[in-house]
Amino acid sequence: METIASINSAINGVVWGPPMLILLVGAGILLTIMNKGFQFRKFGYAMKNTIGKIFDKKEAGEGEITPFQAMTTALAGTVGTGNIAGITAAVTLGGPGSIFWLWITALVGMMTKYSEVMLAVKYRERNKLGDWVGGPMYYIKNGLGKNWKWLAVLFCIFAALAAFGIGNAVQVGNITSAINTVFVAFNPEFAGQKTVNLVLGIVLAVLVAFVLFGGVKRLGAVTEKLVPFMAVIYIIACLVVIIRYAGTLGDVFHDIFVGAFTPSGITGGAVGGMMLCITWGVKRGVFSNEAGLGSAPIAHATTSETEPVRQGLYGIFEVFMDTIVICTLTGLALLCGFYGAGLDLHYGTQGYTDMNATALGTVFTPQGGSLVIAIGIALFAYSTVLSWALYGSRCCEFIFGSKAIRPYQIIFVVVVFIGAVMDLGLAWDIADTLNGLMAIPNLIGVIGLSGVVVKTTKEYFAAGKHLDDK
């Protein structure tokens, strides 16, 4: 394990160095400029035609799901442990200022995600099973041309492997950690016991297999019910803590904005310089909303929606909901809870979900806080695992054909069980590395097709297609 950790650390230092940060944020800035701030100009229109149509009833044909189901499937992949444990890690290792850089990443990331989703629908194909398939590998191959297929394959390799980390082991590990916190909160004798992890690993593997082997329609049916429910419950819990300690909000926002540029001054020197703060904010922002990674477009490509721009609007909503809303509430609830109760955040040491439980526990009692976080983590992470199972299998299918889907799914289910008992810290580190690696070919594809994004968007509005949206 030490050898793996050291190798991963070396690769991670390169992958998540300044060049990657520039590429991720720079791509969003470039697309924003080229499209004249589309995500800001058309924000109201995007909200009206995404969340505003949540109750619209649409039917989807064979091999496809409704636009809303495609969005909830993609949102299930983004709203996960990164929204809870990921934000806590960013705050403790990068300082409160990391939340500011997380916001910046999200604002430009909305344009990146819109572009990815739009391109995924524009360049998708039907596979041999009759299902819609799409994503970075298809818009690289069909958009940039077949000479770039090697880049598409490279993306698929990184994404198929990343699915075992960011979309599987990390999520499952955080479920077991959160539930163990509940057991310990009610009975300290459970501390250090692995029996709960083993049982949870088996249960989760069975639940994932049930949905996964039922195909994309079963996946869409589960996520469209699970995602809204889990989001509302978690948002309410965070708001209760924030309102309870509303008097600390002045100090909290001061530390966020000042700490973004002078983190050591806010953390008493426990956190390093501004670059470390930016790094953690951007890393956890990307880990959470996945803008630039190329994962969510794979889900969106399965939609029954035929208009690329209209489906692309869901990409804007996803990043807004995931990062601006849920991640912000997590950070504010954490800081308000600790500041209000006079607790030490232990800057410089990575925090996990037990700190979120502590923050909520200052209002809901320790047991209640642990229970809220455990339920939130379990629902968030479970839905994320389901979505990433789709992403990984689609990538495997692109390389090896439809015959490879079921073997990949079986391995994925086995990793669910392994993730319940493996070292969580190492899982996080490997997931970070693979995130960065899969982003590179995707961003090359998106930037290379940026002209297509501009042209397709202009044609949509010039033709008056937006006037059909009611």
Highest mean pLDDT among 3-12, 323-332, 351-360, 368-377: 323-332
Question: How big is the CA angle at 427 (ends 28 and 406), to the nearest 5 degrees?
Answer: 85
Nearest to 119 by CA among 436, 461, 454: 454
H and E: helices and strands count for the chain: 23, 2
Which range among 46-50, 102-106, 223-227, 250-254 shows the weakest confidence by mean pLDDT? 223-227
Decide if pLDDT at 470 tops 60. Answer: no
**Residue 301, pLDDT score:** 92
**Residue 419, pLDDT score:** 81
Question: How big is the CA angle at 316 (ends 306 and 305), to the nearest 5 degrees?
Answer: 10
Which range among 205-219, 280-294, 385-399, 418-432 shows the weakest confidence by mean pLDDT? 418-432
More confident residue, 417 or 241: 241
Decide if pLDDT at 187 tops 90. Answer: no
Enumerate residues 6+ apart whose C-beta is below 8 A from 101: 94, 260, 277, 278, 280, 281, 282, 285
CA separation for the pair 445, 143 (Å, rounded): 8
CA separation for the pair 238, 376 (Å, rounded): 11
116 pLDDT band, cuts 50/70/90, is: very high
**274 touches 95 (CB < 8 A):** no
Decide if pLDDT at 2 tops 80. Answer: no
Q: Return the C-alpha torsion angle 233, 320, 164, 388, nearest 10.
A: 80
Enumerate residues 6+ apart whose C-beta is below 8 A from 165: 427, 430, 431, 434
CA separation for the pair 208, 198 (Å, rounded): 16
End-to-end CA distance of the chain: 56
Maximum C-alpha span of the chain: 67
CA separation for the pair 105, 110 (Å, rounded): 9
Segment 85-109 shows an average pLDDT of 92
37 pLDDT band, cuts 50/70/90, is: very high
Question: How big is the CA angle at 469 (ends 464 and 470), to the nearest 5 degrees?
Answer: 135
Residue appearing with tokens 């070919």? 441
Task: Give pTM, 2 decimals.
Answer: 0.88
**358 touches 343 (CB < 8 A):** yes
Decide if pLDDT at 469 tops 70. Answer: no
Point out which residues pair with 133 in neighbouring strands: 125
**Residue 35, pLDDT score:** 96
List of E strands, 343-417: none
CA separation for the pair 461, 326 (Å, rounded): 31
Residue appearing with tokens 């989703």? 117
Whole-number Cα distances in Å, 141 to 95, 119, 148, 208, 449:
41, 12, 6, 31, 11
13 pLDDT band, cuts 50/70/90, is: confident
**Residue 463, pLDDT score:** 84
Decide if pLDDT at 185 tops 60. Answer: yes
324 pLDDT band, cuts 50/70/90, is: very high
Highest mean pLDDT among 48-52, 58-62, 64-68, 157-161: 157-161
> What integer best gives the mean pLDDT of the chain?
87
Nearest to 285 by CA among 254, 250, 331: 331
**Residue 129, pLDDT score:** 84
- Specify the 3-state DSSP secondary structure of 200: helix
CA separation for the pair 166, 168 (Å, rounded): 6
- Specify the 3-state DSSP secondary structure of 132: strand
**What CATH number labels 14-53+64-462?**
1.20.1740
CA separation for the pair 107, 77 (Å, rounded): 19
Burial class (CB in 10 A: 0-12, 13-18, 19+), 40: middle
Nearest to 290 by CA among 438, 104, 183, 406: 438
**204 touches 212 (CB < 8 A):** no
Which range among 52-61, 259-268, 370-379 shows the weakest confidence by mean pLDDT? 52-61
